[in-house]
Structures are given as structure tokens and as C-alpha cells.
Structure 1
Amino acid sequence: MESVKKRLAEFSVEAHDLYLNRSVPYLEEPPDPLHFYRDWIGPNKPCIIRNAFSHWPALSRWTPDYLREKVGSKVISVAVTPNGYADAVNGDRFVMPEERRMSFSSVLDIIEGKVQKQGVFYVQKQCSNLLDELPELTDDVEPHVSWMSNALGKLPDAVNFWLGEASAVTSMHKDHYENLYCVISGEKNFILLPPTDRPFIPYGMYQPAVYHQRDDGEFEVVDQSDSEKVPWIPLDPLDPDLDRFPQYRHAQPVHCSVKAGEMLFLPSLWFHHVQQSHGCIAVNFWYDMEYDIKYNYFQLLETLSGST
């Protein structure tokens, strides 16, 4: 077992030495599809692309006044938590947010400070919520990113809309998507770890539960007792408990800030943790990853990491 652990550590060091960047590089213009596949998607490396959607009307239009006029009366799904952590480990539970149906205007009232509410509010429902819940806004963006769709030979599986308070945090996780994350206003701060750092990232199995706000305003945690346990990462990369998770000291996280008008390419299977400026608006495109030998290798790495 010790020899496997040693080889896994060497595996990560090799990746950092051979091809991974110490910071997230910038591209100054939208890339050619073939070059993008060859330089970024194939090698599974992140980058930030400038001037990739400068033609979108959303960049100048999406003010609170415009959004109120366009979609203010639309009822959308909003994640509500006591502490800003939706889909995150809390004690011995994996706790999901209370999903609340609210008008878009009432969300803006909270974000602009016009109304005081207990809890932290975040429009973060995925499953293509931009197309499904806010189709009136789709003319201000694009239904897909043409050079990415050409590079992958397919259209995105989902186009998601994000809007939230500064205290809304996305806990560390990974996705099976090639992700283009476009910041329309404000700023998103990412902590990224490559799949090859998996041996240093702790997982546990947790009873799923959801937050529920009682009539007195306090939040309680309600178990989903009929659901199977969920594997999740208990570590907070903002304040890692190295006594509890000593292996994390070998991880090499990369920090990047994605500003308005910038697009992050977040490759499939990269671990990421996200914070944002208050009222930040973003749109992202999820393209399903290829379940090829890279995925096969990662599954092997995942199994070996979990058994050491």
C-alpha cells in the first residue's frame, strides 16, 4: 500500500513537471477550433479567454433595471442557505440548499439591499436554467460558443445562468463537462486543482440532507432518509485542516480571477471551488466530456486514491 501511495504522489509531481502550468494562461482572442482542441481540450488544461464574447449585448444590457423590465416577473428557482454553502459538507451531512421559487425582481431586491432577508440567496440551478427559466434573455447571449462546438463536434448539454450574493460559495467538486464559464458582470474567484492531484483530495460518504427555513426564520437540516449516501469533499481550500487532511499539503492549487468580459475554460474532471463578488452575473456552457481513455485513467486513479 505504501508503494502505491508513493507512486500516486510521483504521478502528480510528474504531471506538474511535464505539462501543467503554474498559473492559468490568458488567450487574447477566441481561438481556432482545431488549435483549441489541440492545445487545451486534449491536454486537459485551463485557460482564460479574453474578447471571446465582447459582441454579446448582455455585457452592456444586463443592468438591474434592464433585468427587472425584461424578466422581473418571471418566477425562478433560487438556492437559499444559512451560510452561503449550497451542496456542501456540514458536520456529518451533505446538505443541499432549500430550493425556493421567487420572482426575479425579489431576488434583485435582496442583492441590491432593498429588502433584508435571513439566509444567502443564489440563482444557481443548473440543468440549462437560462434556456428553461429565462428564455427572454437568450437573445442577449448566444445559444452556444461556435468555436467550442466545432472543436468538440457537438452542442452544449446545458446553458446556465448564475446570480448571487458575495457570501454564496461553491464548495470544491468536479464535473464531467468541458466548461466555458463567462462572467458578464462582477468577478469570480476560482481555486483549481488538476485531476492528477486526486490522491491528495479527501472524500467521505455523507447522509444527504436539505436546509429548510422555519417560520421563525431559523434554518434546520432535514435528512433525506430515503437517499443513499453521497461522496463529497469535506475539505475547505480557503482554510484547509491539514491536521485532519495531511495529504492535502502535497496538492498544488492554482488561483485565478475571472473578470467581466472574460471566459474561463475549465476542463472536465478539474476540481474547483468558487467565490464571487456581490451581484456577480455569469453564464456557462457545459459540453459533455468524452468518456475515452482519459476518463478510464481517471477512474483508475480515483479507485487507487480511495484505497490508500
Structure 2
Amino acid sequence: MAEGAALRAVRGCLAAFPREARELGWPESIPYLDRPPSPLEFYREWVSPNKPCIIRNAISHWPALKKWTSAYLREVVGPKVVSVAVTPNGYADAVFQDRFVMPEERQMPFMDFLDIVEKKVTSPNVFYVQKQCSNLTEEFPELICDVQPDIPWMSEALGKKPDAVNFWLGEAAAVTSLHKDHYENLYCVISGEKHFLLHPPSDRPFIPYELYQPATYHVSEDGSFEIVDEKTAEKVPWIPLDPLNPDLELYPEYAQAKPLQCTVKAGEMLYLPSLWFHHVQQSHGCIAVNYWYDMEYDIKYSYYQLLDCLTKTVKML
């Protein structure tokens, strides 16, 4: 009886924690800043309290905002072979058929990729330049001069340079499934729009995680896709829930979550704090650059690790 009462008490605390955190710390909508902040202001008002914001006029001086047309990208990058994620359904790195399925990473001339995005060539599959690990500097160095190698006020605020600078371009059908990472993320939209659905880290008790066999999409000889298991790899913890169409019968706790949604337009920058859950959609042909700054593994990280461990343990009982 004592153990049962203790477990009920822990469940009650976990259920109440997200609501209390929202009341104390999280906004009801993503606020806008009309200018880039000073390093001290940004750290004090946004990084330290772990709050997102959208910043206007932070990248208005970038040549990329005017130069990065399809014609310009063809001229500058052109026939260069780059990495492109290819899926049958637009979901890369997502749960499908009880697997955590990664995209086929295809090497192809960039101009051929643009032909697909511009519908000059038809394909039943979905193509997305989304390789991370600093693909802007590694695969598209010709474009760095049109943006910046880092965001100076962010680098000063954190006392470090970004771990990675990533280039994103793809079709509207390409979707990033709900997940979180350990970076302070500055997401800069060059053209089009990005649509974000966000959950603060305190919503962890409402968000399901399961372990999945990792697998990869591969194109068969007849052009169809098959899912091939990565048999030697360990199982991957991932979120099976689609926040746009959640199965509340299977995951009833998610009904208590209150996601924030925002649209980041061309010329705007989203500050996405570390450990926030995010799901991303985009307009067709949207181009974006994001900067990943490694988070500080401080007491805040320890608190959220404790929340994660408690949530996992309670759901096992």
C-alpha cells in the first residue's frame, strides 16, 4: 500500500509539473524582438531562462536574402555533387512501421535536385537537402560568403562558436518529426516559411518515447522503396506521436500538453532553446540556415535529465 501511494504521489507531481512550469516560465505565444539583442541582454532574457523568441532585422544585411534565387544557386553550386535525403513519404528520421527509419542519403548533382524541387522533373519521392553536421561549411562553402560563419552576438553571449552551420532546402512534403536536441539553435529563414510546433522541456511527462529498431530506406531495382534494418545498431529512443494528428487513445497524456506554434518568415530568425521539442514543416522550396551552439551541461540540464528519468521509470511501473 505504501509503495502504491508513493507511486501515485510521484505520478501526480509529474502531471502537475508541466502546468506549474508554464505558469511560471513559458510564454503563451512566441514573442518577437524587433532587433537583435546585445549579448548580455540575450543571455539574461532568453538563453538563461530557456525561452524561445523570433528576432526580426537580425539578418537583413545578409546578401543571401536577395541573392539566393534558383538561378544563382544553379550558377554557384551547379553540377557539384551533394547529399540529399530521399524518402517515399517526406518523413526522414521518423517512426514508420514500428521502425526508426532514416532516409536514403543520395549523392546527386545539386542542379538535378533543383530540377526536382522546381518540378522540371517529376518524382514520386520526396527530396530534402537536410544533412546536418555543418553541411553549409562542408558541402556548400561557396555560399558562406552570403551569410555569416557565426552570429557574433550569440557567440559572445555563449563564449563559443557554433558546432555546426546547416543549410536546408526542400519540398513542402518534407517534415521533421517531433524531437529535441542539445543545442542552442538559431534558425534563419532565407526564403519561404518554416512552421514550428514547439513543446518546452517541462512537457516531457506528456510526450511518449519508445525504443525502435533503426532502419534505412533503400531504393529497390524497380524504383520502389524498401526498409532495411540496421541489424548491428542499438535501438533508438524516439517519439512515435504525430503532434498534428495525435492518437489520444494510444497516448492520452498528450491531451494535457499545450504546444506553441509559430511561423518564421523570410528574413526572420527563431531562437529555439536547447531541450525544446520541435516539429517542423515548410513552404515548398524554403531555404534556411541554422546555427547549432552546444548547450551548457549545467544544473538546468541535470534537472531535465531527472525529469526524463522519472518519467521513464514511472511509465515502466
Residues 264-273 or 116-125, more deviating: 116-125
Would you say 1:13 and 2:9 are equivalent positions?
no
Would you say 1:253 and 2:259 are equivalent positions?
yes
The alpha carbon displacement at 1:8 in A equals 1.1
Could you give the per-residue CA deviations for residues 2-48 of structure 1, whole angstroms, max 9, x where no partner exists? 21111012111111111210000000001011010000000000000
Give the structure 2 partner of residue 45 of structure 1.
51
1:76-91 map, 5 Å:
76-91=82-97
Partners of 1:92 and 1:108 lie apart in 2 by: 32
Could you give the per-residue CA deviations for residues 45-84 of structure 1, whole angstroms, max 9, x where no partner exists? 0000000000000000000000000001111100000000
Partners of 2:91 and 2:155 lie apart in 1 by: 32
Aligned pair partner of 1:228 in 224, 234, 240: 234
Query: Aligned with 1:210: secondary structure?
Result: strand
1:1-308 map, 5 Å:
1-308=7-314
Instruction: Among all aligned residue pairs of Structure 1 and Structure 2, give the percentage whose two residues are the same amino acid.
Output: 69
Query: Aligned with 2:187: secondary structure?
Result: strand
RMSD: 0.6
TM-score, structure 1 length as denominator?
Answer: 0.99
Partners of 2:79 and 2:157 lie apart in 1 by: 38
Match for 2:257: what amino acid?
A: A
Query: Aligned with 1:296: secondary structure?
Result: helix
Query: Aligned with 1:286: secondary structure?
Result: strand
Query: Aligned with 1:242: secondary structure?
Result: coil
Match for 1:63: what amino acid?
A: T
Unaligned runs of 5+ residues in structure 2 are 1-6
Residues 144-153 or 5-14, more deviating: 5-14
Could you give the per-residue CA deviations for residues 176-220 of structure 1, whole angstroms, max 9, x where no partner exists? 000000000000000000000000000000000000111212111
Partners of 1:259 and 1:190 lie apart in 2 by: 11
Partners of 1:252 and 1:215 lie apart in 2 by: 45
TM-score, structure 2 length as denominator?
Answer: 0.96
Match for 2:94: what amino acid?
A: A
CA contact (8 A) 1:169 1:274 kept: yes
Could you give the per-residue CA deviations for residues 245-292 of structure 1, whole angstroms, max 9, x where no partner exists? 000011110000000000000000000000000000000000000000
CA contact (8 A) 1:74 1:134 kept: no
Partners of 1:251 and 1:133 lie apart in 2 by: 39
Match for 2:56: what amino acid?
A: R
Match for 2:275: what amino acid?
A: L
Partners of 1:114 and 1:279 lie apart in 2 by: 13
Partners of 2:239 and 2:262 lie apart in 1 by: 21
CA contact (8 A) 1:73 1:105 kept: yes
Could you give the per-residue CA deviations for residues 106-163 of structure 1, whole angstroms, max 9, x where no partner exists? 1100000001122100000000000000000000000000000000000000000000
The alpha carbon displacement at 1:240 in A equals 0.1
Match for 1:60: what amino acid?
A: K
Unaligned runs of 5+ residues in structure 1 are none
